[in-house]
Amino acid sequence: MLDYLRKQSLILMQALLGVISANFRMVYISKNNGCVTVTIVLESENDDDFEEIEDLKSEFEALQDSPIDYDFMVKVTDKELFWPDGNTIVVFRRREF
């Protein structure tokens, strides 16, 4: 399962090129019950970022070599972030002081 998740994280990294703005705090990927979940944490609501995320979903799916069951979750928070638990790969995390 970890090899599959690593492959998906590489695909996600490629799809993220040019998408991440200063508002992005963290992006991570996990797999539960056969479904790949991409979680994006934003600092504040931003229409441009939401539009980029919609494009990201299409790009992520287009880069797949076979059909995939996936979901994108967007969280908006300015509270302290913690490293996700379980079978999760963090693809991007903004440096915060």
pTM of the model: 0.93
Model confidence at 1, pLDDT cuts 50, 70, 90, reads low
Where b means 16+ CB within 10 Å and e means fewer, 37-58 reads bbbbbbbeebeebeebbeebee
**Per-residue DSSP letter, 43:** S
The whole-number pLDDT of residue 39 equals: 98
What residue ranges define each of the domains in the chain, with the CATH number in brackets?
2-82 (3.30.300)
Would you say 29 and 88 are in contact if contact means Cβ atoms under 8 Å apart? yes
Task: Write out the two tokens for 76.
Answer: 């908006």
Residue 97 burial class via C-beta count within 10 angstroms: exposed 0-12, middle 13-18, buried 19 and up: exposed
Question: Residues 36-88: pLDDT tens digits?
Answer: 999 999 999 999 999 999 999 999 999 999 999 999 999 999 999 999 988 89
